[in-house]
Amino acid sequence: MPLFKPDEYLTRITKIDFDELADSGIKALLLDMDNTILPRDTGVFPQDVLDWVEEAKRRGFTLMLVSNNWHDTVYAHAAELDIPVIHKALKPIPFSFAIARHRLGFGRRECVAVGDQVLTDVLGAHLSGMKAILVVPMVEQDITITTFLRKLESGVLKNMRPSR
């Protein structure tokens, strides 16, 4: 698998097909937080994302936040969703993905990472031997380092379009 190429590219996390995941043996989703499930500009979960999280749980998927965020708000957001969290993940270093899999009790092939950045989420997942789903960022607002990384990743995404 090419390190920087997502296994799937979607317009929004809510476009993930749970049946496809289950059919491919996926049991756990390791979710990025900022601009993947939580818009950076409002800090409030959209209702469709809350509904998606509940549907994933209802279908038997295990969810965990794996976030590079250093703020304690990560814990409040994880509590709101009632899912565990690893923060200060230092993605793309694959260590946090390995810890997440270990804590959840799943192997590499049973987990997929979902995030909005190629150079952290996709690369980190692939370095740890997992599949990665890339989603379009929820909003354009980003912190300075992410804005810089997005300019770098634009070359990777130049010829790619979300499938749905």
Mean pLDDT is lowest, of 17-21, 134-138, 141-145, for 141-145
Per-residue pLDDT, averaged over 57-86, amounts to 95
Per-residue pLDDT, averaged over 49-55, amounts to 98
Count, in order, helices (H) and strands (E) of the chain: 6, 6
Task: Please report the pLDDT score of residue 148 as a whole number.
Answer: 62
Specify the pairing of strand 8-10 against strand 85-86. unpaired
| pTM (two decimals) | 0.89
Nearest to 135 by CA among 74, 72, 52: 52
Q: pLDDT higher for 117 or 143?
A: 117
Cα–Cα distance measured from residue 127 to residue 99, given in angstroms and rounded to the nearest whole number: 14
Per-residue pLDDT, averaged over 28-42, amounts to 93
